[in-house]
Amino acid sequence: MSAVREFMTTDARCIPENQSLADAARMMMDLDCGSLPICGDDGKLKGMITDRDIVIKCIAMGRDPREMMARDLATGTPHWVDADANVDEAIEMMERFQIRRLPVIADHKLVGIISQGDIARNYDEERVGELVEHISERKRMQSSSS
């Protein structure tokens, strides 16, 4: 069985919880990504932030992204997977929580991100198809009910 660490992207970077959403947006632009883990001063995962979060929960609400902090969008319990977990565990979590990117933790610190794309490039096609279908189906249902 394959471990998550064999599939994950290892150059993941955190946005500190006390950094502004404008800083998060610049970091996403510089890293050419659409989401970032939010980490506390202790280096522990506090949540995830997406470019969509910044637009919907800040800009569209008339708030200033230079004054709103990443911690303001770190709501709920962050989902993550251990680096030594089996890839199937990561897939099950992604399906259950309808997420495309999952932070990877080792020794209580962020060591990477495993994404739907990482799995698609390296895993059984049938299982990848199921993952995409489950995540996309739920997202479509949420969009149509909004």
With beta carbons less than 8 A apart as the criterion, state whether 52 and 73 touch.
no
* pLDDT tens digits, one per residue of 28-74: 999 988 899 999 988 889 999 999 999 999 999 999 999 999 999 98
30: left (phi over 0), alpha (psi -120 to 50) or beta: alpha
CA distance 125 to 85: 20
Domains in the chain: ranges and CATH: 4-145 (3.10.580.10)
The string of pLDDT tens digits covering residues 98-141 is 888 999 999 888 899 998 888 888 776 666 566 566 666 654 44
- Is the pLDDT reported for residue 23 higher than 90? yes
Listing DSSP states for 81-141 in one string gives EETTSBHHHHHHHHHHHT-SEEEEEETTEEEEEEEHHHHHHHS-HHHHHHHHHHHHHHHHH
